[in-house]
Every structure is written in structure tokens, then in C-alpha cells.
Amino acid sequence: MQTSRLPLIATVLFVSAHSAAQTQAPAGALACTQIGDPAARLACYDHSMGAQLPPTQPLSAPADTKAAIDIKQSIEQSQAESTPKVVLTEAPAAPTQPQAFSPLSLAYDLDVNHESSILSVRAHRPLYLLPGWYNSSPNRNPSSPEHTSAIPEQQRQNHVEAKMQISFKTKLLQDLFGTNADLWFGYTQVSHWQVYKGSMSSPFRNTDYEPEIFLTQPVKAALPGGGGLRMLGIGAAHQSNGQSDPLSRSWNRIYAMAGMEWGNLTVVPRLWWRIPEKSDDDDNSNINRYMGYGDLQMYYRFNDRQTLGALARYNPASSKGSLQLNYTFPIAGRLKGYVQAFHGYGESLLDYNHKHNSIGLGVMLNDWDAF
């Protein structure tokens, strides 16, 4: 009988000790109230209550951290061994503090794969609506070497219209070729709407459709000024406005791009080659003269609330190009105010060879501000 009572006695002793420990902490904290110095009083509270705080847990690494190609090491080993070599950096270790990735990394999964993985709809280029878009010189007679236009509806267009863009992408395949490359599909649609026609019909003056497929490769290389090369990519894009002659415009391109960062500044240059078309199918044979052979996108985040972006194109052979400036500012939640200004050629495919100045004000509906 005495042996059977031992577990009961041990249990009572354990509960009593635990209750005593629980009552001591409040008593110690009560004694702290008698201390006049604020710093000493806070230290007393921390000491008396510290034993009751839950233990801190170390942060774990993301499930799919990614290594990038180390360009310098790859070149050096390829030269040393006289054969092509690909050297990967080490995948990111478990962070000790919450990790903040750059806009470029978040857009293209350069450091870690997005939790939604593949075949999910994600932001691509900005999603915006500009209810007021002012055009200094409307293109009332759009033309190209293949087509001349005398469309009454185009000739009656207003200086002020609405402009909107929707854009999304989805990852088709990830972590390819043993180098963590990703394959994407993207789609962008830009519309100009003559909404302020009064009693007349309010048509969509032009809509450009641009599906594309592209491959991104995380890389690592130092750049002057403390910058870094983060990404290389290749892609193919089709862009057209879906209209019939004489307003039909389209072209197909293959492009190469890179992603670079200097602190809060992100720079993405692209070079493209237009896929030749048969003369009977070409609606705009001289489009390269105005749109050039590439573009340069820049994005600067002043803070978490304001950003400035730019998109520039230039053809040195024809001295023609364009510059677009983008500025975002906070309104409420994820909703941002958006100002866009444009100067030059090619603000839309229909206007690829028409020069004008435009400015608009509206809202941006996603977090990805520039690319």
C-alpha cells in the first residue's frame, strides 16, 4: 500500500512546486513597482517575468531556396579546364532575421520559388487604369508604308481618353537544367478608350495584345559601383492590335534581357531581333526605325510607399525613340496613385511612327510597379 502511494505523493509535490513558482513571479513583479528609476524598474520587470516568456524559435529557411550561376567562377574554371563549366553559388542559408528580397527577385523567383509554385496567375507588368490620358497630338491619320488611313472615326478622336493595362504571368516549369532556370508565359494588354465622346459612340481606339514566353536564369556577378548582375533571360514575343487593314499592326521578336541591381535601383536592359515576315504579310515594315532594337527599364524605390520608373527606347541610326516615366504614391492599402508621362514614338502599335507627348493620372492595382 505504501508503494502504491508514491506516484500520488510525487504528483502532489510536483503540482505544489509548479504553483509556488507561478505565484512567485507576480510577487516579484509587484515589488518592482516600488522602484523609482524607469530603466531600473523595466529591468526588474524583465528579470521577474523572463522565466514565463515562451522560448524563441529560430527562423527556418524557405522551402525552396535557390542557387544562382556564379559567372566569375564559371568563366575561370572553364578557362582553367579548357571545357565549359557551370559553377553554382551556395543556396541561401537559414536566415536569422526576416529576409526581404528585392523587387527583381520577387518578380522572377531568383532567390526562392514562390509558394504558389507553377501554373498559378501572378503579376507581370503593372496593372493600372488611367481615366485621364491626355494626348498632345492625336494620330488622326495612322499610316504605314503598306497602308494609308482615312478612317473617319480616327479623324474624330479626342485629345483626352482613358488608358488601361492588364498583365499577368505564370510559371510553366521551374528549376530547369540543373541551374534553377524557370520557364514563364506572360500576357499584356494595353487599351486606349475614347470614352469622352459625349453623345457619340465611345470606341476602343486601339488595343495591343502581347503574349510571350521567356526563360529566366538566376546569376551572380559583381558590377561597378557596388551593383550586381542577378538575372539573364531570353524570350519570344508576339505583339499585334487585332485590327483589320488599314489599321492592322503586328510584329514578332526574339529578345535577350538582363536584370541588375544597385541598392534600391533596378535596371533591366533588353535587346531584340525582329523575326522577318513576307512582304505580303508585313503591315509595318519600318517599325524598327521607330521602335529600335531594344529598351531599357529602370525602377527606383524611394521607400515602401513611393517609386519612380522609366522605360527608354532609342535607335541611333534614325535618331528616333521614346521615353516613358512612371511615378507611384500611396492611396489606401495596396491601391496606389499612378502618374505616367510619355514622349516620342510607339506609345501604341497603331502610333508606332507617330510622335506625341502624353500624360495621365490614375491608379495602380498591384505591387509590381515598373516591369
Q: Is residue 329 part of a domain?
A: yes
- Grid coordinates of 329: 504614391
Residue type, 81: E
Q: Is residue 20 part of a domain?
A: no
Confirm if 36 and 53 have CB atoms less than 8 A apart.
no
Residues with Cβ within 8 Å of 327's Cβ and at least 6 positions away in sequence, in order, are 306, 307, 308, 309, 338, 339, 340
Give the C-alpha separation, 228 to 221, whole Å. 6
**Could you tell me the residue range of the domain that residue 172 belongs to?**
110-364
Give the C-alpha separation, 181 to 135, whole Å. 41
Give the C-alpha separation, 274 to 95, whole Å. 44
pLDDT of residue 347: 97
pLDDT in tens, 216-272: 999 999 999 999 999 999 999 999 999 888 899 999 999 999 999 999 999 999 999
Q: Render the burial of 23-35: b for 16+ CB within 10 Å, e for the rest.
A: eeeeeeeeebeee
Q: Is residue 287 part of a domain?
A: yes
Please say if the pLDDT value at position 56 is more than 50: no
Confirm if 322 and 313 have CB atoms less than 8 A apart.
yes
Confirm if 269 and 292 have CB atoms less than 8 A apart.
no
Count of domains observed in the chain: 1
Q: Is residue 189 part of a domain?
A: yes
Q: What is the largest CA-CA distance in the chain?
A: 111
Which residues are known to be catalytic? 238, 240
Q: Is residue 339 part of a domain?
A: yes
Cell 525602377 belongs to residue: 299
> How much of the chain is helix, strand and coil, in % rounded to 5?
20, 40, 40
Give the C-alpha separation, 184 to 49, whole Å. 53
- Grid coordinates of 195: 470614352
Q: Is residue 122 part of a domain?
A: yes
Give the C-alpha separation, 48 to 71, whole Å. 54
pLDDT in tens, 89-143: 776 554 433 345 788 998 999 998 888 878 999 999 999 999 999 999 999 889 8
Q: CATH number, domain at 204?
A: 2.40.230.10
Q: Is residue 179 part of a domain?
A: yes
Q: Is residue 63 part of a domain?
A: no
Band (pLDDT 50/70/90 cuts) for residue 74 is: confident
